[in-house]
Structure 1
Amino acid sequence: MLKVGLTGGIGAGKSEVSRLLASYGAVVVDADKIAREVVEPGTPGLAAVAAEFGPEVLAADGSLDRPALGTVVFADPDRLAALNAIMHPLVGARSAALEAAAGPDAIVVHDVPLLTENGLAPLYEAVVVIDAAPDTQLDRLVRLRGMTPDDARARMSAQATREERLAVADLVIDNDGPLEALEPQVREVWAKLVERAGASSGPRPE
């Protein structure tokens, strides 16, 4: 098994890179998806978040009101740290279970948005960073996700800098350009991961 960490700033394009890697044969463990699962209604995770942040972060149906929680934590590093203290153990346990189920010959790609911020690079045999300029990230967040510029900047500033992410990278994918420029780069990275894994079978890029 080859354990790979995949990261990039908000708006860098992790979802598309993860989708492509999965199509080539990677087992993708998506930390954001898991983070949603562990705070679904009725979970201990949601109960812990509500106890820490109060009923104002719950929607009328009892589910987590993500925009309300985001407004609180992304403006206050201490509150963000409190949320992370709840979430990280839950996400880590679920990620480990999915990895264990992948099998000994798998290339397991952990999509971890806060890999750099939380000092997680040493956990992986290879770290892939999706790189995009801050102006590109800001444009995508405002134009594609409907954020206000101030909200987008706040979320970007809560993450590691571009330089900090690149410092932990073994492989870099440049996603500053159009979508059609991304796929050839991801194929090249996949080929390098297959080589690192020493895999003798399974999907290969053409």
Structure 2
Amino acid sequence: MSRTTHPLTIGVTGGIASGKSTVARAFAAHGIPWVDADDVAREIVEPGEPALAEIAAHFGERILQPDGRLDRRALREIVFNDSEERRWLESVTHPRIRERLSEHLDAMARGPAPYHLLVSPLLLESSQHEMVDRIVIVDIPEALQIQRTVERDGVDEDQARAIIAAQMPRAERRKRADDIIDNSGDDEALARQVADLDRRYRQSGFPPSP
């Protein structure tokens, strides 16, 4: 976490189906803006973007839909089963995602909010953690993670377990946290935790680690 300029950039991450976007919206209720790295990842592979042309040249038209847009499911199936292809894809997309994120963060830093969020599932696995001042982990038990993934994404339990196994272990994420939000409860419990963090970030700028 190398940046120390104000306003603060707060990184928000967590495993699949932990509720990162839900947490971002809870902060937004307090007037806090955010950028979602998943949204940016979609932006940089839109038709006409250099990344999409490079990906299509590498994998062929099998990863394109009839309208020329990226077929995310087809690409995901390729790279999920081939670590070398996944690394190649990351070499194409990650630098462009980081550049676009920097643009969004700079714009938010010029705004009136006392701090802003970078929401990213790969915050800790990529160099994106270098772009934030503080890391918030959205945490839920693995059993609940599996249940929510199955319900949300329409995958079976084995697929959900495989996705979770491919991510950073929960214990490791928690070790890297400056703050942890427990999102295993109801909306009110989440709102209370976010309100508490919002007060701390506003009052002291850089609150002590718990």
- TM-score by length of structure 2 reads 0.87
Whole-angstrom distance in 1 between the partners of 2:201 and 2:44:
30
1:172 aligns to what SS in structure 2?
Answer: strand
Structure 2 match to 1:158: 166
Aligned: 1:8 with 2:14: yes
Compared CA separation, residues 119 and 42, structure 1 to 2 (3 A): closer
Whole-angstrom distance in 1 between the partners of 2:204 and 2:92:
34
- Describe the superposition over 1:93-123 as per-residue Cα deviations: whole angstroms up to 9, x where unpaired: 1111111112165412100111121254343
Whole-angstrom distance in 2 between the partners of 1:194 and 1:23:
14
- TM-score by length of structure 1 reads 0.89
Structure 2 match to 1:17: 23
Q: Which runs of 5+ in 2 are unaligned?
A: 1-6
Aligned AA (1:33):
D
Whole-angstrom distance in 2 between the partners of 1:56 and 1:95:
29
Compute the RMSD of aligned alpha carbons.
1.7
Compared CA separation, residues 79 and 150, structure 1 to 2 (3 A): farther
Q: 1:77, CA displacement in angstroms?
A: 2.5
Compared CA separation, residues 53 and 180, structure 1 to 2 (3 A): farther
* Aligned ranges 1:54-73 → 2 under 5 Å: 54-73=60-79
* Aligned ranges 1:85-124 → 2 under 5 Å: 85-102=91-108, 103=110, 106=113, 107-118=115-126, 120-124=128-132
Q: How many residues align?
A: 198
Whole-angstrom distance in 2 between the partners of 1:117 and 1:16:
21
Asked if structure 1 preserves the Cα contact closer than 8 Å seen for 2:98 and 2:128, the reply is: no
1:24 aligns to what SS in structure 2?
Answer: coil
- Describe the superposition over 1:116-149 as per-residue Cα deviations: whole angstroms up to 9, x where unpaired: 2125434321100001111111100111221222
Query: Which of 183, 186, 194 lines up with 1:186 in the alignment?
Result: 194
Asked if structure 2 preserves the Cα contact closer than 8 Å seen for 1:12 and 1:137, the reply is: yes
Query: Which of 128, 132, 138 lines up with 2:136 in the alignment?
Result: 128
Q: Percent identity, please.
A: 39
